[in-house]
Structure 1
Amino acid sequence: MSARTTCRVMPASVVFCIVVTLVAAVRYCPVAHGGETIVPESSQDSQSNPAKEVQPPESGDNASNKDFVVIKYDNAGKRQWLRRYDGPGKGDDWVTASAVDRKGNIYVTGASWGGENVGYEYATIKYDGTGKCLWVRRHAGGIPKAIGLDENRNVYVGGEGGIIKYSSAGKFQWELPGAEKWTVSKYGDVITAHQSISYYISIKYYNSDGNFQWSKTFEPYSYSWEFSLRGIHTDDYGNAYIKYYMYYHEDSCDSESLRMYDRNGVFMWDTDFYILGNNGFGFSYIQSLYIDDELNVYVAGQYI
């Protein structure tokens, strides 16, 4: 195997899918990645660029009536088809994440208004490459933040309202508690991360059957007085990488850090990306992260 890259060459028969939401005009929706997405089979980078926070519209605002829209273009930029989804509540529906598998199937998930007595639900749709809707699944939970696929094209969607697994045929498999950040390995292992109000970060690891395997809790370095969980990533072997931000009180500067556990929960290492400038201050931010098949980690970001 080789390291994942931002783009990969696709056959001429496989085309790009752009997921959009219709408001007054068409606008592009964010694609979730890494700890906020997890799309090992997608043409997108599955280890960087966490999904942007999506602000919900007014509940049941039929005047705007936003809908899911999926558009397929061929490799010459010619539109092949457009599919629109309006949920049963006839209110606002908007996409939060999407994925494409190696067979050219398209998966979208987002929040869909189910009516005044239901509120927002997860809505997940699978289309084949011709635009045929293969299945639609709805689940109580509010707003899903990410979607992921394992090597068998099982589908994982979720956010803080719960993490759901469907088979490739759309059959419900199991549900896990919601998580602030989560990711899925190609084996179907789900890794979640949560920051507690007591300044600890907790990680939980589940196997592909949804069974709990192990958990770890850690507190960032004691000489930092401010920190936040930024994301969680995995590699081709199912190891876990937790990204978090720290503010160093003694040096009056901040940086991002990365901690690794192997698939069995054994702590491997922890490092921070901190560069002290000539003026005595340093600020470092990770924008993207890549892990190759030899477990070398590459980070890119900015230094101020």
Structure 2
Amino acid sequence: MLDSLGNIYVAGVRWYQYITSKYDKYGNRLWNKMYSYEGVCRLYDMVMDDWGNIIITGSSEADSTDYDYATIKYSNNGNLIWIRRYNGLTISGTPFDAAHAVETDRFGNIYVTGNSRGLSGGDECVTIKYDSSGNEIWIKSLTSASGAYDIKLDNMNSVYVAGRYGGSSYTFKLDFNSNFLWGQYYFGGSLLATNFPKMVLDSASNVYVTANANTSGAEDYAFIKYDRAGNKLYDIVYSYSAIGADYVKDIALDKKGVVYLTGEVQSNGYAFATVKFSPIITSISNNLSTVNNFELSQNYPNPFNPVTRIEYSVKDAGPVKITLYDIIGRIIVVLVNENKLPGNYSIVFNAGDYNVSSGIYLYKFETNNSLKPNE
């Protein structure tokens, strides 16, 4: 993590200790801080607030409560400001509470989320809000997710959390007072979710979250886009190889709406793979409009085998035509060309079926009526 002066902050563990260090831009270590409690530590996330304070979070073993959330705030100079631990609500068993993600707002409040053993004995998603002094403002526990792995805030300080439950990814939104606004499951065909979901927001508070999918007989990259009200706009699946498992590890979004996924892929061994998806526009005007584009990225020397689901809604009965073009305007394939009754529709495009080379492609929707996908 970098600050505005180019100083570098790193954090990790040495078995029984959190270790947090600051280096200047030349690599000189400015300070080094350690934290230990009664046992093994696991560190999962770090963030900087608007005042340059450093907040780290993870899990820390304690003899009496097993593993707890352990969140620490340091000043920019490395001075300890506070430590907060959370040991869940369970009254029996050996609970394992682990904070996986931390975020701050413009007021210096701190939000921590992860998994915690509940009173029922099962794992729950528990999110905690602290003020800048470390006072607990609220705790929100949800049994609809067995754990959470990323957290983001929008400009209204609404809280978005990405977690999972069984084979499904689960994304939910809270308001700033912890009131539940919406939650969405995504089942991509895997019986057991193996990824730690990661998430980004755009300037309109649309949510992009990674997930597991299984469309090729093995695990694939996937991400879903939701609008701020929780409506799913689309999901995209990427399979590097039909014979190997692909695990998406992180997601990024640039100012143009381009989405980047990175992670681990398997074919004849293991490799890293980063995939770029150009923006997908999810509103359409009447008559002819170019409404969608995406990019197929070659991963040399192996072929790229993307699978994309296109979802749209028809308000009034009438003809619908969806055509795929290359960047110079040549028709690749007509995906839909028929009359449609009002309703929601979904089609799957597999580039491998059409021997499509790498590049940028456009969808064109033609209709005499008004269409708007995913409403």
1:255: Cα distance to partner? 2.5
Partner residue of 1:241 out of 183, 205, 208? 208
Secondary structure of the corresponding residue to residue 75 of structure 1? coil
Residue 338 of structure 2 is matched in structure 1 by none
**Does 1:175 pair with 2:139?**
yes
Question: After the TM superposition, which residues 207-286 of structure 1 pair with which residues of structure 2 at under 5 Å, given as runs?
Answer: 207-220=175-188, 224=189, 228=193, 230=195, 231-237=197-203, 238-248=205-215, 252=217, 254-274=219-239, 285-286=247-248
1:100: Cα distance to partner? 2.3
* RMSD of Structure 2 on Structure 1 (CA): 3.0
CA contact (8 A) 1:149 1:186 kept: no
Secondary structure of the corresponding residue to residue 170 of structure 1? coil
> Separation in 2 of the partners of 1:108 and 1:126?
7
Q: TM-score, normalised by structure 2?
A: 0.56
> Separation in 2 of the partners of 1:95 and 1:254?
27
> Separation in 2 of the partners of 1:113 and 1:218?
33
Partner residue of 2:84 out of 131, 137, 140? 137
Residue 362 of structure 2 is matched in structure 1 by none
CA contact (8 A) 1:185 1:234 kept: no
Q: Greater CA radius of gyration, 1 or 2?
A: 2
Deviation digits for residues 1-46 of structure 1 (CA, Å, limit 9, x no counterpart): xxxxxx767316xx222224334xxxxxxxxxxxxxxxxxxxxxxx
Residue 16 of structure 1 is matched in structure 2 by 8
CA contact (8 A) 1:232 1:240 kept: no
> Separation in 1 of the partners of 2:243 and 2:10?
42
1:182: Cα distance to partner? 3.5
1:253: Cα distance to partner? 5.3
Residue 155 of structure 1 is matched in structure 2 by 110
> Separation in 1 of the partners of 2:133 and 2:198?
28
CA contact (8 A) 1:227 1:247 kept: no
2:108 is aligned with what amino acid? R
1:78 is aligned with what amino acid? N
The structure carrying a bigger strand percent of its residues is 2
> 1:85/1:118 Cα in 2 relative to 1: closer, same or farther (>3 Å)?
same
Q: TM-score, normalised by structure 1?
A: 0.67
CA contact (8 A) 1:256 1:285 kept: yes
**Does 1:108 pair with 2:56?**
yes
Residue 44 of structure 2 is matched in structure 1 by 96
> 1:236/1:173 Cα in 2 relative to 1: closer, same or farther (>3 Å)?
farther
**Does 1:75 pair with 2:31?**
no
Which structure has more relative contact order (CA 8 Å, sep 6+)? It is 1
Structure 1 gap segments, 5+ residues each: 1-6, 24-65
**Seq. identity, %:** 24
> Separation in 1 of the partners of 2:251 and 2:57?
24
Structure 2 gap segments, 5+ residues each: 89-96, 117-125, 264-272, 274-298, 303-375
Equivalences, count: 242
> Separation in 2 of the partners of 1:267 and 1:126?
36
CA contact (8 A) 2:13 2:43 kept: yes
Question: After the TM superposition, which residues 119-130 of structure 1 pair with which residues of structure 2 at under 5 Å, given as runs?
Answer: 119-130=66-77
Residue 261 of structure 2 is matched in structure 1 by 299
> Separation in 2 of the partners of 1:204 and 1:258?
15
> Separation in 2 of the partners of 1:94 and 1:216?
29
CA contact (8 A) 1:290 1:297 kept: yes
> Separation in 2 of the partners of 1:285 and 1:83?
33
> Separation in 1 of the partners of 2:193 and 2:12?
31
